[in-house]
Amino acid sequence: MYVHDIKNKKEVLKMTTYQNVKVQGLNIFYREAGDPSLPTLVLFHGFPSASHMFRDLMPLLSDRFHVIAPDYPGFGQSSAPEHTEFDYTFDNLTNVMTAWLQQLQLTKFYMYVFDYGAPIGFRIAVAHPDWISGIISQNGNIYQAGLGSKWASRQDFWDHPTAAKRDTYRSAFAPATIKGQYTYGTRPGTVSPDGYMLDIAYTHGEDYAERQLDLIYDYQNNIKLYPEFQAYLRQYQPRLLAVWGKNDPSFIYPGAEAFKKDDANATVELVDSGHFALETHAAVIATMIKTTF
């Protein structure tokens, strides 16, 4: 048995650490890597995942950024109060994430938004435009043009909600669906099972289904805010990289191209992957981020 003696402080700071902090009575778990003196990059995950979706990306960026990725309430390793005791809406998740940022004194940062992370991140940007140094949107949609065909049936659920319709959305986090979200649009054999198997394991948690169904119903309010998100881009013109898994059936690639309409500082890149593009293109996306910012 031997012990590695790590003498290089820079190498230590590049290591990912796993931490917890109390925010509004909730335990918020987060991953962190990189020297805190470097520019901060906050990574906002999507559904049905958590901060582990950034496990390959964070080490690739930690030489240039202080990278930090939280789990939202109800996701991953953060507190998951029952849906009858916590308001599982995107407004409320944003409130908690805003408080988390303030508690850690992170009020100037780049942000990476994916899937559910987009409506959370853009709410923060609208409320605190001075906090945002730049944006990476990876299949993080804020345009009608980016909504795939599945959203038509969800609109019917939102317009005419019933318990029976709500129950049909339990299929959104069935094991086969989760695996399909990772593998659809990718070449066979290129997606590790690690990510989707962990996501599937989380679905067995108590009250998981009900809190996720609450968020599926509330997603309609994200779409209603698209004009506000777009107005933020037009007013502030942040440096923005829209990198998209072009084969994603949920958020289709015209949603990436739409950023150019509102933000003259937007760059659009399409990669040959699906929704979870980091599973196949983490190194490529890391290089794009370093080149853009």
Q: In this structure, which amino acid lies at residue 222?
A: N
45, 66, 275, 281: the catalytic one is 275
Give the C-alpha separation, 275 to 94, whole Å. Answer: 22
- Whether residue 275 lies in the annotated active site: yes
Residue-level length of the chain: 293
Tokens of 157: 């659920």
3-state secondary structure the chain: CCCCCCCCHHHHHHCCEEEEEEECCEEEEEEEECCCCCCEEEEECCCCCCHHHHCCHHHHHCCCCEEEEECCCCCCCCCCCCCCCCCCCHHHHHHHHHHHHHHCCCCCEEEEECCCHHHHHHHHHHHCHHHEEEEEEECCCCCHHHECCCHHHHHHHHHCCCHHHHHHHHHHHCHHHHHHHHHCCCCCCCCCHHHHHHHHHHCCCCCHHHHHHHHHHHCHHHHHCHHHHHHHHHHHCCCEEEEEECCCCCECCHHHHCHHHHCCCEEEEEECCCCCCHHHHHHHHHHHHHHHC
Distances (CA, A) of 276 to 30, 47, 50, 244: 20, 10, 12, 9
Task: Give me the active site residues, please.
Answer: 275
